[in-house]
Amino acid sequence: MLYMAYQPRLLTVTFSVDLPRAMSNRGPHSSPRTYFRRAGMSDRLLHRTGHGMDVTGREAPFFADGYERLIEPGMCLIIEPGIYVEGIGGFRHSDTVLIGDDGPVKLTGGPVSIGALTLPMHS
């Protein structure tokens, strides 16, 4: 049950990451980190928040501490914050977005409800 309590929070953060045109990649990384730090869960975020995508898979820009690059039209990005609870497991949600001239366009077409994205835990 503890694990299930984290999932709605993560989805809220994932779906609300703002990707305005020509912003630094620091914003999409700091937004989830700020949210979970305020919720007392910053120790649950164990990896970067996302990255660029090309034919090779993961590539710059990376949404991580110490890495900064301008987000520009034409970039395809993966936003995938994840939270992990030792001894229980983790939850990671990924959205793919294309940065267009008028802002981001979400390309991901999968389910977005908690029920559709989770499996029941059995003790």
**Tens digits of per-residue pLDDT, 56-113?**
777 777 777 777 777 788 888 888 877 787 887 777 778 888 888 887 788 887 776 6
CA distance 40 to 63: 21
Residue 15 lies in a domain: yes
Residue 12 lies in a domain: yes
Residue 40 lies in a domain: yes
Res. 36 pLDDT band, cuts 50 70 90: confident
Q: Which two tokens stand for residue 16?
A: 């609300």
The residue segments making up the domain with residue 103 are 2-107
Residue 112 lies in a domain: no
Into how many domains does the chain fold? 1
Q: E strand or H helix at 16, and its extent?
A: helix 2-16
Residue 98 lies in a domain: yes
Helical spans, DSSP H, in the chain:
2-16, 26-38, 114-117
Residue 97 lies in a domain: yes
Can you give the CATH number for the domain in which 44 is found? 3.90.230.10
Residue 70 lies in a domain: yes
